[in-house]
Amino acid sequence: MTEDTTESPVWEGRLYSRGWRAGSGDPLTVTAPGTGRALGTVAGATTADLDHAVESARAAQRSWAAAPYTDRAAVLHRAAALLEADPGRLMEILVAESGSGRAKAGFETGLVVSELRESAALASHPSGEILRSAKPRLSLARRVPLGVVGVIAPFNFPAILALRSVAPALALGNAVVLKPDPRTSVSGGLALAALLDEAGLPEGLLHVLPGGGELGAALVAHPEVPCLSFTGSTAAGRRIAERAAPLLKRVHLELGGNNAMLVLPDADVRAAASVAAWGSFLHQGQICMTTGRHLVHRSLADEYVAALAERAAGLPVGDPADPANALGPLIDERQRDRVHALVTGAVAEGATLVAGGEYDGLYYRPTVLTGVAPDNPAWTEEIFGPVAPVQVYDDIDEALDIINASEYGLSVSILTGDPHAAFDLCDRIASGAVHINDATVDDEAVAPFGGTKASGTGGRFGGPHANLDTFTEIQWITLQGEIERYDH
């Protein structure tokens, strides 16, 4: 879909719950953040819609779980094939609704295809194991679906961050109720529903309910939703954990990050600056894996900052529909104002603005800061904008202490000429991922993804073992030929 299309999309004025229908809440306007132009409306959902969706999902899930695994795999394979044949069906709405640059939209669409393929393979993964037993019996542990999985997805990579829960949950025999961020209701939900619907997903297994915080809270608290998968800020994740705890609900929280890039003294500076620009500025820095802290050895610092500032100054920022623009808009004015306040606050406290620090509407220039104090919010907090704060270190122990001092533990990058020595440092880094000679921003459907500390808790996403742990329960079964006799 593009902004100037005259054809009414399937989601116009509707939500997806046992097919396309009107909701019982107020309609939500779909807006292009770069231009402020209205792209259409979707139906807003209420708690009554949620109750209806959960009841429908519970009924549909039973037959879905009992169906041959090949049926589940076939739907996901067809969805992948449909998207591969027409990637524009997702890319265009990612550009328009989420402010994605065309390269980022293409990258995200490719991730969605990979997730669909890997989830289709997950359906045929061994579902249990034979256990040893001291008794003459068959003893086995098997994986069984949880039932209804609730998913709350964010605005930044809306399609893949929703689908990485939706697709494996469906593959393993669950039904799903998805609440996308209201700013990306289409790219984060309804466009995926249209794809899976066309691929033949049986009715009632996926429900996409656009809405705000009240609807999300109701999904968290719903007694018939035993599992919740949330991707979003650490602050919101803490609130969800508090509300879910009395229900003893299984909760998977993929939260924020303030990810460090460690540039060792033997690194190629020009190459490091290239990785750094990708890590800090991709999608305007609105990624949980964004490089938010640059730790550079003193011997390289001046050259590194100059190279990174040169790259920042050369990146075109503007309408993401124009493929010449590398960066698009921030998601809204509130986020822009927060980013700018962190930048100006750091400068007011002594940091040096080397590049950027300016904006036009929601278009924020890629920004490089040096001399940021260790306790300054621009260094300690997740900025979620295209800002690269740089600090200098003198020895590796100092650098590792700075990395681990953060409350977050999502992704770390080490850039070096000696990757084997860098590998030895991984034991000393508290992080869910460490990438040697690559960016902090990295994701593959085959790899377990998740963070430590304030970056997340619960199961991981990606890879067969992680997804089995996240979206199934273990059931122990024993079987013997005769009734056991007990002497009393």
Whether the CB-CB separation of 434 and 464 falls below 8 Å is answered with no
Whether the CB-CB separation of 150 and 225 falls below 8 Å is answered with yes
Question: What confidence category does residue 487 fall into, taking pLDDT thresholds of 50, 70 and 90?
Answer: confident
Q: Are residues 193 and 206 in the same domain?
A: yes
Give pLDDT, residue 464: 85
- Averaged pLDDT for residues 247-267: 97
Q: Are residues 246 and 309 in the same domain?
A: no
408-428 pLDDT per residue, tens: 999 999 999 999 999 999 999
Q: Is 254 a catalytic residue?
A: yes
Q: Are residues 157 and 269 in the same domain?
A: no
Give pLDDT, residue 5: 43
Collapsed DSSP state (helix, strand, coil) of residue 73 = helix
Indicate whether 106 belongs to any domain: yes
Looking up residue 289, the CATH number of its domain turns out to be 3.40.309.10
Residue 7 pLDDT > 80: no
DSSP at 201: P
Give pLDDT, residue 2: 41
Q: Is 242 a catalytic residue?
A: no
Higher pLDDT, 373 or 1: 373
Indicate whether 189 belongs to any domain: yes
Looking up residue 160, the CATH number of its domain turns out to be 3.40.605.10
- The residue from 254, 381, 426, 482 that is catalytic is 254
- Averaged pLDDT for residues 277-289: 97
Q: Are residues 141 and 182 in the same domain?
A: yes
Q: Are residues 392 and 367 in the same domain?
A: yes
Indicate whether 8 belongs to any domain: no
Indicate whether 128 belongs to any domain: yes
Burial 155-170 (b: 16+ CB within 10 A, else e): bbbbbbbbbbbbbbbb
Give pLDDT, residue 480: 95
Give pLDDT, residue 4: 44
Residue 255 pLDDT > 50: yes
CB-neighbour burial class of residue 28 (10 A; exposed 0-12, middle 13-18, buried 19+): buried
Indicate whether 482 belongs to any domain: no
Whether the CB-CB separation of 396 and 274 falls below 8 Å is answered with no
Question: What confidence category does residue 397 fall into, taking pLDDT thresholds of 50, 70 and 90?
Answer: very high
- Averaged pLDDT for residues 308-328: 96
Q: Are residues 136 and 124 in the same domain?
A: yes
160-212 pLDDT per residue, tens: 999 999 999 999 999 999 999 999 999 999 999 999 999 999 999 999 999 99
Q: Are residues 105 and 227 in the same domain?
A: yes
Indicate whether 487 belongs to any domain: no
Q: Which residue has the tokens 């690559």?
A: 438
Percent of the chain residues topping a pLDDT of 90: 96
Q: Are residues 422 and 465 in the same domain?
A: no
- Averaged pLDDT for residues 245-267: 96
Q: Are residues 283 and 208 in the same domain?
A: no
Give the domain range for residue 346: 259-436
Indicate whether 263 belongs to any domain: yes
- Average pLDDT, rounded, for the chain: 96
- The residue from 288, 382, 407, 426 that is catalytic is 288
Q: What angle do CA 329, 330, 334 make, to 5 degrees?
A: 140
Residue 335 pLDDT > 70: yes
- Averaged pLDDT for residues 112-127: 95
41-59 pLDDT per residue, tens: 999 999 999 999 999 999 9
Count of the separate structural domains present in the chain: 2
450-463 pLDDT per residue, tens: 999 999 999 899 88
Q: Are residues 250 and 344 in the same domain?
A: no
Residue 1 pLDDT > 90: no
Q: Are residues 248 and 263 in the same domain?
A: no
Indicate whether 88 belongs to any domain: yes
Q: Are residues 221 and 85 in the same domain?
A: yes
pTM comes to 0.94
